[in-house]
Amino acid sequence: MTLVKQAVFKAGILQALQSGDYVANAQLLPQLTNDNTSPIVIGQPVYSSAADHVNLAEANASGTKDVLGLVADLSIAAAAVGSIQTEGILTATTAQWDAVAGTSGGLTYKTTYYLDPANVGKLTSTPTSTAGQYSCPLGIAMSTTEFKINIGMTILM
């Protein structure tokens, strides 16, 4: 079998995919409105709060546990519209991931992250075992800055 390098358009020029580059298959939803009274930021998990609206998800209640995706924009102001990513690789800085996952130095490689039951709009690397809370796997860290979104089945504990 012959390996063939993928060709991509970059700055309007067709070229071979360069070493270290990759093609991400990100799935973005149409622009959705932030129902939260505060801005929501990149990497935060959200649920559908109304038609074409989202709010910050949390794994401690049935109404907020169904994660639609993660915020893809740097920030979406209250009542403003923005992008939500449902699959693929979401890239953010280590500081941005620290703010969402409560980490230091970004995400931990090969670690699965879950919807946090104690902190609204946050990720945690510890799945809950508390009765009445929900275990909601969201994806896996590919590096300190790259998160592969893979929203799994939610389990009531």
C-alpha angle 28/29/30, rounded to 5°?
120
Can you tell me the distance from the alpha carbon of 44 to that of 48, in angstroms, rounded to the nearest whole number? 13
pLDDT tens column, 40-67: 999 999 999 999 999 999 999 999 999 9
pLDDT tens column, 69-121: 999 999 999 999 999 999 999 999 999 999 999 999 999 999 999 999 999 99
Cβ-Cβ contacts under 8 Å for 86 (sequence gap 6 or more): 27, 28, 29, 68, 69, 149, 151
Kindly report the pTM of this predicted structure. Answer: 0.84
